[in-house]
Amino acid sequence: MMQLAFLDTRLSNEVKRKTEKLMSSYKNLEAIIESKKLDAPKLVVNYQASEAQRSNQFHSETETLAINKVEIDEYTKTKRKLDLVYYSLKPVQQRIWDHKFLLGRYDVDVYTDLNLPDRTYYRLKREMIAVVAEAFGFI
């Protein structure tokens, strides 16, 4: 297992962009999961006779239900991973995440409000992004 001290924080722009997008979606994941659960069709027994494949559908209601369940499971897994990473970070990194990715503030405003030197802020942010990228296998 790789130690955090040896974690390479030099990331490509693509990996950094994907990771930051994922971190920004953290606050919306719970709402997405709940809305998908509410929109999921309920499978009930239907005793009406129906003609076989008369419609122009490419999949059945059961397949739609299964696909929806897989999507919900993926979002839930992503949310749980982000929770684990978030709560394993240093408190100052959690505050950076909150201000930068959840509130959508600019870097200058974040390190000014947190009374951090800009070099320290960018080092902590780079470490935080590297940890998330490693957790999701982007590196």
**Above 60 in pLDDT, residue 131?**
yes
Residue 95 has what pLDDT?
Answer: 94
Flag whether 5 is in a domain.
Answer: no
What confidence tier does 67 reach under pLDDT thresholds 50, 70, 90?
Answer: confident
Query: Which residue type occupies 74?
Result: E
State what percent of residues in the chain have pLDDT above 70.
Answer: 80
Flag whether 127 is in a domain.
Answer: yes
Flag whether 6 is in a domain.
Answer: no
The count of domains in the chain is 1
Work out the mean pLDDT of the chain and round it to a whole number.
Answer: 83
Q: Which domain holds residue 88?
A: 14-39+60-135
Flag whether 46 is in a domain.
Answer: no
Flag whether 94 is in a domain.
Answer: yes
- Show the DSSP H helices in the chain as ranges: 13-24, 26-39, 61-88, 91-97, 107-113, 118-135
**Above 70 in pLDDT, residue 34?**
yes
Flag whether 81 is in a domain.
Answer: yes
Mean pLDDT of 111-128: 92
**Above 60 in pLDDT, residue 94?**
yes
Taking only the tens place, the pLDDT of each residue in 98-111 is 999 988 899 999 99
Flag whether 7 is in a domain.
Answer: no
Flag whether 33 is in a domain.
Answer: yes
Residue 27 has what pLDDT?
Answer: 87
**Above 90 in pLDDT, residue 80?**
yes
Write phi, then psi, for 119 (nearest 5 degrees): -65, -40
Token pair belonging to 64: 């739609």
The residues, ordered by sequence, that sit 6+ positions from 32 with a Cβ below 8 Å of its Cβ are 75
Residue 119 has what pLDDT?
Answer: 93
**Above 50 in pLDDT, residue 1?**
no
